[in-house]
Chain A
């Protein structure tokens, strides 16, 4: 039992390392995952910065502190989508089939890809935390907040990546996975990633109150703009677990479907 777990852990680590190296080797493909949210963060912070003067806006030092969490989850969701595209390309090119034919767990193959997405998520979190510090965001809870944000973001990346991986496994097509990209923005706009839900127009504002992404965003945002609150953090963790469980269940069904279809 322990031997099998150790073998699977080695497979996950090896495939995760391969995926991270693959991403870092082609920075021109990875750059938009960070540059686009950074550009949007800069523009929205300066374009809608006076929003903090609105009566019901939560108390913040500046709009950047509020927006930082939104930029992080945007970048993370794009990274999850990008990881799923890379996974679909591996499937299209037959690389994944060779792994599935090897005497290793199929779940370890999927988790290897997701581990890489989690690592990239952590890198993204570090980048945005540094960016925030440079441009005037304040972290009310100090280093502990930064570490917690990195952990939460890495776990969110894995959770959102699992949904993309399931679509890749089900469709075997990079272009189909790429086609879900606009959905990333639909989900973002229907959460309070960019604005407090109570100030958003309905029905988006109403949906944002129940969107799991809102709970995750608030978990990241709270230590930046206010202080710790166990309730908010538990909600964020529950949302990450929920999204991850949903994605991994879809992956399981997709893997079973592949075996049934003889793929």
Chain B
């Protein structure tokens, strides 16, 4: 029994790694397709910091560097785009019949999902690294090693959430035309938080939405180090949120995959 389980784990791990390798191969084979996902968050970061940089002059703003305040948001935005791209690629595979062949293989469905999601998680490091390089060049504060590792870990987690969101929609609509829905969903999730200003400086409806949007916890956790110190009290809500969202959306993705075969 234990031997069979061990063999099973080994096979499943190999399957996950094969799917991850396939997804990563796409970056090298079609680099042009990955460039917009890397450039777009950087353009938004540079643009928004130039435009709204003076907001730090407002009383109550907790930093004088808007670049440091915004960079975690842009990194999470990049992760959102990467995860959404995983959904678009899956929709393409479904349209072309390639995913049907995967479903016919003797692989458990969670393993297939894990392959997709893990690849998104690793790919999200590309825009994050590019953004950090751009950010440090324009004066983003060094967040310390712990702050940096925490931010990158949360970015990877956000990519997992975005990928499960994207794959749920891909299984639901089975067409690449659902791409705007995948992208705009993630964009709204990240921007309707304390993305532009601290909670006390938000106005109108956004003040309420940001308060209850769970992604605000992730943004605030990723912002530590860049603005202030890293504390466990500000970290765990972000981690719990990511785990909760990933679990919930994985459930929908697996249900969608199940419906494809019934």
Central interface residue in A43, A45, A186, by most chain B CB within 10 Å: A43
A42 to B55 CA separation, bound complex (whole angstroms): 17
Partner of B51, one of A28, A42, A182, A189: A189
A53 interface residue (CB < 8 Å to B): yes
A22 interface residue (CB < 8 Å to B): no
A2 interface residue (CB < 8 Å to B): no
CB pair A200–B46 under 8 Å, yes or no, is no
A195 to B48 CA separation, bound complex (whole angstroms): 10
> Given A46-B204, A188-B47, do A199 and B54 touch, yes or no (CB 8 Å)?
yes
A205 interface residue (CB < 8 Å to B): yes
In angstroms, how far is the closest chain B Cβ from the Cβ of A218?
A: 16
In angstroms, how far is the closest chain B Cβ from the Cβ of A181?
A: 8
Q: Hey, what's the 0/1 contact readout for A198-213 against B, CB within 8 Å counting as 1?
A: 0111001100000000
A89 to B83 CA separation, bound complex (whole angstroms): 28
CB pair B57–A48 under 8 Å, yes or no, is no
A36 interface residue (CB < 8 Å to B): yes
A59 interface residue (CB < 8 Å to B): no
189-208 of chain B: CB within 8 A of chain A: 191-192, 195-197, 201-207
Given the complex, which residues of B lie within 8 Å of A42, measured CB to CB?
205-206
Given the complex, which residues of A lie within 8 Å of B44, measured CB to CB?
185
A134 interface residue (CB < 8 Å to B): no
1-45 of chain A: CB within 8 A of chain B: 28, 32, 35-36, 39-40, 42-45
Given the complex, which residues of A lie within 8 Å of B57, measured CB to CB?
54
A51 interface residue (CB < 8 Å to B): yes
CB pair B52–A51 under 8 Å, yes or no, is yes
Number of interface residues of B (CB under 8 A): 34
A261 interface residue (CB < 8 Å to B): no
42-71 of chain B: CB within 8 A of chain A: 43-44, 46-55, 57-58
Given the complex, which residues of B lie within 8 Å of A50, measured CB to CB?
55, 58, 197, 201, 203
Residue of B at shortest CB range from A35? B184
> Given A43-B192, A44-B196, do A200 and B203 touch, yes or no (CB 8 Å)?
no
B188 interface residue (CB < 8 Å to A): yes
In angstroms, how far is the closest chain A Cβ from the Cβ of B61?
A: 9
B243 interface residue (CB < 8 Å to A): no
A48 to B50 CA separation, bound complex (whole angstroms): 13
CB pair A46–B202 under 8 Å, yes or no, is yes
In angstroms, how far is the closest chain A Cβ from the Cβ of B242?
A: 22
A142 interface residue (CB < 8 Å to B): no
In angstroms, how far is the closest chain B Cβ from the Cβ of A85?
A: 14
In angstroms, how far is the closest chain A Cβ from the Cβ of B86?
A: 20
A28 to B36 CA separation, bound complex (whole angstroms): 22
In angstroms, how far is the closest chain B Cβ from the Cβ of A179?
A: 8
A262 interface residue (CB < 8 Å to B): no
Given the complex, which residues of B lie within 8 Å of A190, measured CB to CB?
47, 50
A200 to B37 CA separation, bound complex (whole angstroms): 26
B228 interface residue (CB < 8 Å to A): no
Given the complex, which residues of A lie within 8 Å of B53, measured CB to CB?
200-201
Partner of B43, one of A32, A182, A195: A182
CB pair B54–A54 under 8 Å, yes or no, is yes
In angstroms, how far is the closest chain B Cβ from the Cβ of A113?
A: 23
CB pair A186–B54 under 8 Å, yes or no, is no
Q: Hey, what's the 0/1 contact readout for A40-77 against B, CB within 8 Å counting as 1?
A: 10111111111101100000000100000000000000
CB pair B206–A39 under 8 Å, yes or no, is no
Residue of B at shortest CB range from A178? B36
A194 interface residue (CB < 8 Å to B): yes
CB pair B47–A189 under 8 Å, yes or no, is yes
A185 to B58 CA separation, bound complex (whole angstroms): 26
A185 to B53 CA separation, bound complex (whole angstroms): 17
> Given A43-B191, A43-B206, A47-B202, do A195 and B196 touch, yes or no (CB 8 Å)?
no
Given the complex, which residues of A lie within 8 Å of B129, measured CB to CB?
none
B149 interface residue (CB < 8 Å to A): no
Residue of B at shortest CB range from A43? B191
List 19 interface pairs A-B (beta carbons < 8 Å), by A numbering: A35-B184, A46-B205, A46-B207, A48-B52, A48-B196, A49-B202, A50-B58, A50-B203, A51-B58, A182-B43, A185-B43, A185-B44, A189-B48, A189-B50, A190-B47, A190-B50, A194-B52, A201-B53, A204-B51
Question: Interface on B for A, CB 8 Å cutoff?
Answer: 36, 39-40, 43-44, 46-55, 57-58, 177, 180, 184, 187-188, 191-192, 195-197, 201-207
Closest 5 CB pairs of A and B: A189-B47, A47-B196, A46-B206, A204-B50, A49-B203
Question: Can you add 4 more A-B contacts, CB < 8 Å, to A46-B205, A47-B206, A185-B47?
Answer: A28-B177, A50-B203, A201-B50, A205-B50
